[in-house]
Structure 1
Amino acid sequence: MGETDGEVLAALDLRRDADLEIAYQRHAGELHRFATRHLRDAAAAADVVQEVFVRAWRHAARYDGAVASLRVWLFTIARNLVVDQVRRDRARPGRPTDPGVLGEVAERASRGSARSFSDDLVTAWFVEEALGRISVEQRVAIVETALRGRPYAEVAVELDVPVGTLRSRVFHGLRNLRAIMDDTGVPL
């Protein structure tokens, strides 16, 4: 019986070039998509991915596969780098930042929300991932009405469905989204 992918990744020693290359091949693409989604800048995301693996190599002795998977550890590093980048961008006057989910998260953080900025960032990432697991119809209905705040009647006309159908899609989509988030242990 062969080793599972998780067992192979847990056995990697990131101080060795060959093992670091394996980790890079397995996770760089996903890390880049994560960083691009939150930074809205592919070049900045590439810098984040490069720095993730530099830090993983430098601090390989700190990685404990019994505590978290390699993927979780790398995403934790990436999350911290993304948060730092967003804070740096906000500290530089005249530099545009995307007002999307990160802007809302940063705004809540500046108002002294009980949750930390990085907690909200991770939650936003999990919500985005969970949205990808529900049907397209439900996802579009939730994004347009609940997240973008558009009126049901306007969205229903655009989608060419009755308002009741749109409301049903939002209701069932939110129920499915909550179930997915509950399964991952992230409060919605």
Structure 2
Amino acid sequence: MGAEFDAALEAARGGAAEGVAVLWRALNPALERYLAALVGQAAQDIASETWLQAARDLPSFRGDAAGFRVWLFRIGRNRAIDEQRRAGRRREELLAEPGEFAGAAPDAAAVAEERWGTDRALALLARLPREQAEAVLLRSVAGLDANECGRILGKRPGAVRVAAMRGLRGLAAMLEDAAILEEEPAHESSSADVVSGVFR
């Protein structure tokens, strides 16, 4: 984050749409990748809700560029948690009252989620304990440091570092197992490189 971001933040705080646009271009791609790991197909909708809330609350925000990034990701995380709760309730309602489509074939979105690339990385991350997966995402995908991650997750920086390290080791083990199963040589790149590369 440089001087342009700081200037955009000040402009956005004053109500300038151009400032918000600069912030959005700088942070939305990483925000959507993070949210995709939490809420899947709903990531874009949750990102939009996050930006709407941020734009509404921005005049009362006090902090610098790094603080804004933490604040934005915290809003996104809270929105994602709300979405997970809503999805859980919807799932319970569907199970309680099966409709006429209960036996239908999986839709295209479900099929697409099984493909390689981002979906494979999300599937691997989903196998990690939640705190490890979020730490890896925030560190490797969003590019936040341990202090910033700690402020989002409500944990000490040391705990975030440990969770991210354990998560990356877990991913490395899963990737190695997958390579052995596929009878392919394991890649030389680290699991952090793999995760951040897949989500670009």
The TM-score bracket by the shorter chain reads 0.5 to 0.7
User: Normalized against structure 2, the TM-score is what?
Assistant: 0.51
AA matched with 2:136: V
Quote the residue 2:171 is aligned against. Answer: 143
> Are 1:80 and 2:78 an aligned pair?
yes
Quote the residue 1:184 is aligned against. Answer: none
AA matched with 1:155: I
Q: Give 5+ residue unaligned stretches, structure 1.
A: 107-119, 134-138, 178-188
1:13/1:39 CA distance change after superposition, 3 Å: same
Distance 2:24 2:65 in 1: 20
1:131/1:10 CA distance change after superposition, 3 Å: closer
User: Normalized against structure 1, the TM-score is what?
Assistant: 0.53
Instruction: Please tell me whether the aligned partners of residues 9 and 19 of structure 2 are also in contact (alpha carbons under 8 angstroms).
Output: no
1:131/1:156 CA distance change after superposition, 3 Å: farther
Instruction: Please tell me whether the aligned partners of residues 10 and 69 of structure 1 are also in contact (alpha carbons under 8 angstroms).
Output: no
> Are 1:53 and 2:48 an aligned pair?
no
Higher RCO by CA contacts (8 Å cutoff, separation 6 or greater): 2
Quote the residue 1:136 is aligned against. Answer: none
Instruction: Please tell me whether the aligned partners of residues 10 and 65 of structure 1 are also in contact (alpha carbons under 8 angstroms).
Output: no
Quote the residue 2:12 is aligned against. Answer: 13
1:53/1:100 CA distance change after superposition, 3 Å: same
- How many percent identity over aligned positions? 18
1:130/1:58 CA distance change after superposition, 3 Å: closer
Distance 2:88 2:55 in 1: 29
1:76/1:88 CA distance change after superposition, 3 Å: same
Q: CA RMSD in A?
A: 4.3
